[in-house]
Structure formats: structure tokens, C-alpha cells
């Protein structure tokens, strides 16, 4: 697991498997909140303690491996972030829902579309996780329990301290989901979109129109973003993310027109991505 600071209020934790990204965001409270002092900005340990008391933290998505999840509370403490008061999932795929294994008493929030998906298919995420664990011979100390979900209206806003996260509809990879814009840090948490490692995956349905609409919703956010965090893959700067977006638009138009002989985007031509492409074609 690797942890990188994108902003004094934003950490990215990347899992050693599937290159899954988990984002930790801190919202400030009042004039002396997390935007002030602290060691990262040259403050003292006392400043950091005051910051911790006057801030609120959310964890968006999750790493995957048990030791990574166990390490999250300590990582937040070392970074002088308060322990989370909320968890958010960008969508309902199992590898984005594991925050409750790290923080079992913290509520999980998600888009209303994701809450509907999980409630309509109870146990799907747990079964998918169990299959993954069996294939890699991973043992977990306890099963995944999602608890009572907090369904969030999307598009909408979510308060964190005295600040707000913007929630944007993100359908196409699946029938559910949201992207999260952190405006004061200029960080876009894109869910399973804008990955430089993966081509658009439609997950067994003809969702091309939805996917293209999501990319167009994300486009104006890229104009203001300093960092874009995809669900899987390296964190991107604005030019890199814009290039991925244009490549994805071109790929989806070619897929819609059934032009199957074109090359996949550079850097995304692995055997696994060719299998994803074949599954996309089969779903049309």
C-alpha cells in the first residue's frame, strides 16, 4: 500500500492489488480548522492537535487487502487526520465498499442509485469479495457488513466540516454511481472512470450513451482540477486526464459504431484490456 498527499486535506491510499485508490479528505471547521497550520504547513504539534479537533474526515472508497485496511486508522493518525466520521463509496462494486472493514462503526454513504442497487441485490458484494479472496487465498478476520446505507441525492452536495463535497452522477461503467469533486483542493475522485490503465468497461450492459454522458459531465470539472483520482490506476494531472477522456470518447464512439478493428488506447492494450473490449462488444 502506498499513501500520497495531494493537498494538506487530501490523501490517496493505493492498494497493492488492482491498483485501487482510496481517498481520505479532511474538511475544516471554522477559521482555525484544517486549512491552518499543522506540520505539513510548518505548524507545531500543538497546532496539529488543534487542527485535528477542528476537522472532520471522510474516507472515499477503500483499499483491498486486510493488512491495508487494518493500517488505515494508524495512517490517519500519523497524518494528523481525525478518525473518519463518514465513509463514501463511488459505486457498488465490491472493491470500493471495504471501508466498513477498517471502520465497522462508521456509516457508509453512497448515491441513491448505488443504495438501490445494493438493496436490490443483497449479498452480491459479499459473494464477489469471497470469490476474490478464495482465488488469492486471502483470509479476513471478519465478513463484510455494509450496515445501514445512507443514500445521498446525486447530483448534490455533502457537508464535511464547514466545507462541501460536490456529488456528480456517474453512470456507464455500471448503472449506478457518483464522482466526488473536492473544490477547495481541486481534486476529482472519478470512480471507475478516467483510468490510464483500463479502457471503459460496460460491465455486461449497453451503457455507451450513459458512459459518454458521464464523461461530458466530468469534462468541465477537469478544467479546474489539479489532480484526478481514478478508481484504478495512477493519479493524473489535468492534461493527462483530459487525454484519457478524449481517448475514452473516441473508443466509445468506435464501439458504438461497431468499428472493432481499431487499436485500443496506448498503454491500455494488455491481454486483460482486450478481454474487457471483447466483453464490451458482446454486450452490444
- pLDDT(88) > 60: yes
pLDDT bin (cut points 50, 70, 90) of residue 205 is confident
Q: What is the pLDDT averaged over residues 124-136?
A: 96
Q: Are 61 and 101 in contact (CB under 8 A)?
A: no
Q: For the chain, how far is it from start to end, CA to CA, in angstroms?
A: 37
Q: Render pLDDT for 8-59 as a digit per residue (tens, 0 to 9).
A: 999 999 999 999 999 999 998 764 433 333 333 333 334 444 444 478 999 9
pLDDT of residue 263: 77
Q: Is 151 helix (H, G, I), strand (E, B) or coil?
A: strand
Within 121-266, where are the H helices? 124-136, 208-222, 238-256
Which pLDDT value is given to residue 30? Answer: 66
CA neighbor of 109 nearest in space, from 129, 84, 126, 128: 84
Give CA–CA dist 62/24, Å, rounded. 9
pLDDT at 258 over 90: no
Contact between residue 3 and residue 36 where contact means Cβ atoms under 8 Å apart: no
Measured at the alpha carbon of residue 83, what is the angle toward residues 81 and 85, in degrees to the nearest 5?
A: 115
Count, residues in the chain: 284
Is the pTM here over 0.85, yes or no? yes
Instruction: Give the chain's domains with CATH numbers.
Output: 2-283 (3.60.15.10)
Amino acid at each position: 500500500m502506498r499513501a500520497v498527499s495531494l493537498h494538506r486535506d487530501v490523501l490517496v491510499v493505493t492498494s497493492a492489488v488492482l491498483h485501487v485508490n482510496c481517498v481520505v479528505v479532511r474538511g475544516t471547521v471554522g477559521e482555525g480548522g484544517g486549512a491552518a497550520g499543522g506540520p505539513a504547513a510548518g505548524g507545531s504539534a500543538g497546532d496539529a492537535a488543534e487542527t485535528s479537533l477542528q476537522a472532520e474526515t471522510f474516507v472515499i472508497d477503500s483499499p483491498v487487502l486486510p493488512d491495508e485496511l487494518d493500517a488505515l486508522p494508524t495512517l490517519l493518525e500519523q497524518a494528523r487526520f481525525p478518525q473518519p466520521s463518514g465513509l463514501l463509496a463511488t459505486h457498488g462494486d465490491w472493491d470500493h465498499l471495504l471501508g466498513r472493514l477498517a471502520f465497522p462503526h462508521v456509516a457508509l454513504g453512497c448515491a441513491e442509485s448505488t443504495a438501490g442497487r445494493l438493496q436490490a441485490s443483497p449479498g452480491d458484494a459479499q459473494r464477489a469479495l469471497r470469490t476474490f479472496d478464495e482465488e488469492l487465498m486471502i483470509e479476513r478476520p471478519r465478513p463484510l457488513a455494509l450496515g445501514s446505507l445512507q443514500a445521498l441525492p446525486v447530483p448534490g452536495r455533502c457537508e464535511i466540516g464547514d466545507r462541501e463535497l460536490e456529488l456528480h452522477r456517474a453512470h456507464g461503467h455500471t448503472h449506478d454511481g457518483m464522482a466526488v469533486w473536492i473544490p477547495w483542493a481541486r481534486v476529482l475522485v472519478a470512480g471507475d472512470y478516467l483510468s490510464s490503465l483500463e479502457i471503459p468497461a460496460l460491465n455486461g450492459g449497453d451503457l455507451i450513451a450513459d458512459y459518454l454522458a458521464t464523461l461530458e459531465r466530468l469534462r468541465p470539472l477537469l478544467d479546474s482540477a489539479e489532480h484526478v483520482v481514478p478508481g484504478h490506476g495512477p493519479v493524473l494531472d489535468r492534461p493527462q486526464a483530459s487525454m484519457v477522456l478524449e481517448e475514452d470518447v473516441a473508443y466509445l464512439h468506435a464501439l458504438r459504431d461497431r468499428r472493432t478493428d481499431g487499436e485500443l488506447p496506448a498503454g491500455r492494450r494488455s491481454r486483460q484490456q482486450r478481454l474487457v473490449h471483447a466483453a464490451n462488444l458482446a454486450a452490444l
